[in-house]
Amino acid sequence: MTTMVQKFADLAANTRIDALPPEAVEESARILLDSIGVAIGGIHELKGKAGIEYGKLIGGTQGDATIMGTGDKVSVFGAAFANGELINTLDMDAIMPPGHVTPYVLPGIMAVGESLAKDGRSVIEAIAVSHEISCRIGMGMDYLRDTKDGKVDPPPVFGYAETVFGATAAISMLRGHSAEVTANGLGVAGSISPVNSQTAWFQHAPSSTIKYLHAGILTQSAFTAAYAAELGHRGDIQILDDEEFGYRRFIGTRRWFADRMVADLGQEWRFVELSAFKPYPHCRILHALIDEMQDMMQRHDIAVADIDGIKVYVEGMVEQPVWLNREILLPHDAQFSIAHGIAVGAHRVPPGRQWMDPDLIFGDSVMGLMDKVTHEVHPDYVKLLTSNAASRPAKLEIKARGQTFEGERRYPKGSKSPDPASYMTNEELIAKFMGNVDGILPRANAEAIVDLVMDLRKLDDLGRVMRLTSPDATA
Rounded Cα distance between 347 and 305, Å, is 10
Rounded Cα distance between 472 and 475, Å, is 10
- Cis amide bond preceding 98, omega within 30: yes
Give residue 145's pLDDT.
83
Please give the CATH number for the structural domain made up of 284-415. 3.30.1330.120
Asked if 140 and 251 count as a contact pair (C-beta separation under 8 A), the reply is no
Give residue 133's pLDDT.
98
Asked if 300 and 288 count as a contact pair (C-beta separation under 8 A), the reply is no
Q: What are the residue ranges spanned by the domains of the chain?
A: 4-274, 284-415
Asked if 462 and 118 count as a contact pair (C-beta separation under 8 A), the reply is yes
The contacts of residue 337 (CB under 8 Å, 6+ apart) are 323, 324, 325, 326, 328, 370
Asked if 224 and 188 count as a contact pair (C-beta separation under 8 A), the reply is yes
Rounded Cα distance between 284 and 311, Å, is 18
Query: How many CB atoms lie under 10 A from the CB of residue 168?
Result: 38
Query: What are phi and psi for residue 112, nearest 5 degrees?
Result: -70, -40
Name the nearest CA neighbour of 196 among 167, 160, 221.
160
Give 301-349 pLDDT, tens digit per residue: 999 999 999 999 998 888 999 999 999 999 999 999 999 999 999 999 9
How does DSSP classify residue 352? Answer: S
Give 27-44 pLDDT, tens digit per residue: 999 999 999 999 999 999
Give residue 149's pLDDT.
84
How does DSSP classify residue 231? Answer: T
Name the nearest CA neighbour of 437 among 28, 101, 68, 31.
68
Give residue 475's pLDDT.
82
Predicted structure pTM score: 0.97
Give 54-71 pLDDT, tens digit per residue: 999 999 988 999 999 999
Give residue 150's pLDDT.
82
Asked if 409 and 291 count as a contact pair (C-beta separation under 8 A), the reply is yes
Give residue 86's pLDDT.
98
Please give the CATH number for the structural domain made up of 4-274. 1.10.4100.10
Low-confidence ranges of the chain (pLDDT < 50): none
Cα separation values, 212 from 9, 118, 158, 202, 444, Å: 27, 31, 9, 8, 35
Is 299 in a helix, a strand, or coil? helix
The contacts of residue 318 (CB under 8 Å, 6+ apart) are 285, 324, 338, 377
